[in-house]
Amino acid sequence: MAVVVRSGGGLYTYERALARAGLTPVAGADEAGRGACAGPLVAAATILSERKSRQIAGLRDSKLLTERTREELYEEILAKAVAVAWVEVSPEECDALGMHVADISALRRAVLRLSTPPAFVITDGFPVDGLGVGGVGMWKGDQVAACVAAASIVAKVTRDRIMTAYENDYPGYDFAVHKGYCTPLHQSHLERLGPCDIHRMRWDNVRRATRVVQP
């Protein structure tokens, strides 16, 4: 079945095109934390309403939004979406599986956790098998499909909150600031304090870090 996507239709274009082909509801899935060397990987999936009154203005790739705007859109997504689900993959599981396998597994689990089963799934970046329905992996999907953009916001906000909460458990690492990503600030703390329980030990910079406190 051919699906015609009309240009210039905005971020909901793909959902509308799939709906015209009878593939509805459409779920979008994305992750946050793949590139971090500490903390969990979080994947989220969303199904947005087809009703214009429940469409969400301002959806974009979460990385292109300010923290305040992400938080506001997160609350609006939870209030207006047909279904939202997310999963957390621990650092230990990321180490055991490798990041690509952990990523695909997390996206799959998030979609399968949705309270409303989708008829089609758009995942950011990579195609995901085992969903029981058709789907497509879309490069930069969070910039061209509303449901994926919404999932990226849910995943990002959820993970940021988790990392901020770790600030109290692991003082001195500034997890609330860098969120576990490999920034110069994070690396300086890692080299001073050594890895903690939520670091991903398969990362080279983490393995090299010493537990000896530098003066």
Burial classification of residue 100, based on how many CB atoms lie within 10 Å of its CB (0-12 exposed, 13-18 middle, 19 or more buried):
exposed
Mean pLDDT in residue range 107-133: 96
Q: Which of 70, 100, 105, 72 has its CA nearest to residue 87? A: 105
What mean pLDDT do residues 167-184 have? 96
Q: Give me the count of residues in the chain.
A: 215
Percent of the chain with pLDDT over 90: 73
User: Residue 52: which residues within 8 A CB-CB, separation 6 or more?
Assistant: none
- Residue 157 to residue 197: CA distance in whole angstroms: 22
Strands (E), the chain: 26-32, 41-47, 83-89, 120-124, 134-138
- What is 13-167's CATH number? 3.30.420.10
pTM: 0.92
- Read off the pLDDT of each residue in 160-183 and give the average, rounded to a whole number: 96
**Over residues 185-194, mean pLDDT:** 94
pLDDT at 157 over 60: yes
Question: What average pLDDT does this structure show over 183-187?
Answer: 96
Would the pLDDT of 4 be above 70? no
Residue 1 has pLDDT above 80, yes or no: no
